[in-house]
Amino acid sequence: MSEKLQKVLARAGHGSRREMEAWIAAGRISIDGEIANLGDRIEADVKIRIDGRTVSIKSEEDLICRVIAYHKPEGEICSRKDPEGRPTVFDRLPKTRDSRWVAVGRLDINTSGLLLFTSDGELANRLMHPSNEVEREYAVRTFGEVNDACIQRLRTGVTLEDGPASFDKVKAAGGEGMNKWWHVTLAEGRNREVRRLWESQEVQVSRLIRIRYGKIELPKSLPRGGWVELTMEQVNYLRKTAGLNEETRTVLGTDKHSVARSKVKGSKIRRAVRKHKAVASKPGRKRI
C-alpha cells in the first residue's frame, strides 16, 4: 500500500513530517530521479534521494521505535548545526543506523532539563501537534515579589502577545526572600511560554528546568549532558499518547549481563560527559 512521502521519511527518522514537507517544497527530495512534489505517495521499491544522496526507507515493521531522555544543560541550542559554533543538543547523542534522532519539541538556550529524542519522526510529529496536550512540568526559580494575587492570575490566565495563557498548576517549592522555587505545569509548548507568563507579572525567571514530560520524568541520577534509553513500556506510553500502535521490540538488553552493565551505566555517562566537556573547551571551539 502506498504512503505519503513525508510520512515514510519521517518514520524512518530523517526528520519530522513538517521538516520533510519543507524539504519536498524546496526541491531537495527526488523519487526515482524525479523531483518530488507535496502529496506524492510511494511504494516500498522506489529509490529516494535527499540532496542527491540515497536514503533508506523501511516499512513500519522493519523499524524499532527508540526514545531517549536527554538532560539538556543550559547553553546548548536545539538545532543540528549552529553558524556561530555554539554547542547543540545533538552533539552528545548516540549514533543511530539508517535513521537519525528527532527532537520532541524544543527548550531555549537558557533552559535545562528533560528533552526527548526519538528515531521515529512520525511519533515526534504527533507528540508536537497541538491536539496532543501532553502535560509538562517545570521547576522555576523566580526573583521578585510573588503574592497570592499573582499566583491566582497565573492560574486563571493572562493575555500574552500570542493569546491567552495560564499554568494548570502552580506549587511553591521553597526558597527565601525574593528568590523562590516553584513547580508549574502546562499542556502547551509555545515559545518561551513559562518565562513569558512570569514576566507578565513583572517577575524574573533566573532558572528554568523541565522535570517531566507527561509521565516521563527526568531521572534524578542522570547528569547534565547525559542520556538514557527509555524502556519499551515508556516508549509505548508515548506511542499510545500519540495514537500509534504499540512497539513490540527494544534495543535494550534482556540477557543476564544487562543487570551488571546497568550498574556501571551511570559512571560511563559521567565519563562521556567529562570527555565531551574537555573536547568542547579546546582552543578553536567557540564558547557562549
- 255 annotated active-site: no
Helix 121-128 / helix 17-25 crossing angle, nearest 10 deg = 100
Q: Which residue has the cell 526528520?
A: 15
How many helices (H) and strands (E) the chain has is answered by 7, 17
Residue from 108, 148, 162, 255 carrying the catalytic annotation? 108
**CB within 8 A of 13, min separation 6: which ones?**
63, 96, 98, 99, 100, 101, 102, 118, 119, 120, 121
Output the DSSP codes for 175-226.
EETTEEEEEEEES---TTHHHHHHHTTT-EEEEEEEEEETTEEPPTT--TT-
For residue 3, CA distances in Å to 40, 102, 196 come to 8, 20, 40
Q: Three cell numbers at 110?
A: 537558557
Residue 115 bridge partners (DSSP) = 70
Instruction: Catalogue the active-site residues.
Output: 108
